[in-house]
């Protein structure tokens, strides 16, 4: 049986984006949430998350991808943006070795905190991280809203620069947002993502309006205009602008962030949730 130390760790800059996307696709095969990765989507995602290529690794055994570790960094905080072990290498301790590498390297860099997200329903992974010293910081949930038929009326939307929306989020967004919802992430949004304003009272970012499901990446109502229905009007305006498409907010939303708003505007909480976990040095 192969030993976990047999896998060779190679820094990410030794690979192309196509190599990295293929390795990620292979190592996440059979994962709880299906993973479809192209070089373009891989680059777009990890650019926004501040991937550090020299802190990231692809682990190989006999020339084949056995595990991936993608590390993102901002200031004194680093985050495991992706870690997975290929199906034929699982259950042999390689995942533990990879995570120990991530922890050791973060400590050696002088990082103060190491973060990760893990599917709550992935019990083996949760237990692994807990055994390594991570603790749960909060639960992240997702929502889905059924499509509305064409022909409805709603407020007109103004398209805006996604970077402008990110700057508004810095001023008006909630503090301590998860990594994927933070203004730093939103500031890197580029096409096909599109941002919209509703009378400069509500702002929203959609990941890709051409997708079958509209993925809501951000919804911001400035503090001076909250509790006046602007968030509800924005949701309805988006639904009317893209009729026939369901909407989703993937499981990166803190479970205590506006649950009443989601329920009031017709969203249903989804069965898949995540734990945000952290280790402080």
Helix, strand, or coil (residue 271): coil
Q: How far is CA 175 from CA 20, 167, 172, 187, 203, in A?
A: 33, 14, 9, 16, 17
Question: 22-51, pLDDT tens digit by residue?
Answer: 999 999 999 888 888 999 999 999 999 999
Give the pLDDT confidence score for residue 155 in this predicted structure: 84
Question: 245-273, pLDDT tens digit by residue?
Answer: 999 999 999 999 999 999 999 999 999 99
In this structure, what token pair is assigned to residue 101? 């590498």
Q: How far apart are CA 142 and CA 18, in angstroms?
A: 29
Q: What does the pLDDT average to over 127-133?
A: 98
Give the pLDDT confidence score for residue 56 in this predicted structure: 99
In the chain, the percentage of residues whose pLDDT exceeds 90 is 93
* 231-266: burial string, b at 16+ Cβ within 10 Å, e else: bebbbbbbbbbbeebebbbbbbbbeeeeeebbeebb
Question: Which CATH superfamily hosts domain 147-245?
Answer: Gcn5-related N-acetyltransferase (GNAT) (3.40.630.30)
For residues 75 and 52, is the Cβ–Cβ distance under 8 A?
A: no
* Assigned fold of 4-111: Aminopeptidase (3.40.630)
Does residue 97 have a pLDDT over 90?
A: yes
Give the pLDDT confidence score for residue 32 in this predicted structure: 85
Give the pLDDT confidence score for residue 234 in this predicted structure: 97
Q: What does the pLDDT average to over 202-215?
A: 97
In this structure, what token pair is assigned to residue 160? 């805006």
| Sequence-ordered alpha helix ranges (H) in 91-229 | 94-109, 123-132, 162-172, 183-186
Give the pLDDT confidence score for residue 219 in this predicted structure: 98
Give the pLDDT confidence score for residue 150 in this predicted structure: 72
* Helical (H) or strand (E) element with 113: strand 113-119
Q: How far apart are CA 59 and CA 232, in angstroms?
A: 47
Does residue 209 have a pLDDT over 60?
A: yes
pTM of the model: 0.94
Give the pLDDT confidence score for residue 148 in this predicted structure: 82
pLDDT band at 3 (very low <50, low <70, confident <90, very high): low
pLDDT band at 152 (very low <50, low <70, confident <90, very high): low
Does residue 72 have a pLDDT over 80?
A: yes
Nearest Cα to 71, choosing from 35, 41, 113?
Answer: 113
Residues of the chain with CATH 3.40.630.30: 4-111, 147-245
């Amino acid at each position: 049986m192969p030993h976990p130390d047999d896998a060779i760790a190679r820094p990410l800059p030794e690979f192309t984006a196509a190599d990295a996307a293929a390795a990620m696709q292979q190592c996440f095969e059979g994962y709880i949430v299906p993973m479809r990765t192209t070089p373009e989507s891989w680059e777009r995602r990890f650019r926004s998350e501040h991937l550090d290529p020299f802190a990231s690794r692809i682990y190989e055994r006999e020339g084949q991808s056995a595990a991936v570790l993608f590390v993102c960094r901002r200031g004194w905080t680093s985050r495991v943006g992706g870690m997975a072990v290929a199906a034929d290498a699982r259950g042999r301790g390689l995942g533990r070795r990879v995570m120990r590498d991530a922890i050791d390297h973060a400590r050696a860099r002088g990082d103060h905190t190491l973060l990760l997200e893990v599917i709550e329903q992935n019990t083996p992974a949760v237990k692994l991280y807990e055994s390594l010293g991570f603790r749960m910081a909060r639960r992240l949930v997702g929502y889905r809203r059924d499509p509305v038929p064409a022909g409805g009326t709603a407020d007109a939307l103004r398209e805006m620069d996604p970077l402008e929306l990110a700057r508004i989020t810095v001023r008006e967004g909630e503090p301590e947002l998860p990594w994927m919802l933070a203004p730093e992430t939103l500031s890197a949004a580029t096409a096909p993502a599109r941002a919209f304003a509703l009378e400069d009272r509500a702002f929203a970012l959609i990941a890709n309006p051409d997708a079958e499901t509209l993925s809501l990446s951000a919804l911001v109502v400035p503090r001076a205009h909250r509790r006046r229905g602007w968030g509800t009007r924005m949701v309805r305006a988006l639904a009317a602008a893209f009729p026939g498409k369901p909407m989703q907010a993937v499981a990166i939303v803190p479970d205590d962030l506006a649950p009443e708003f989601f329920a009031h505007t017709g969203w249903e909480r989804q069965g898949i949730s995540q734990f945000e976990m952290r280790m402080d040095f």
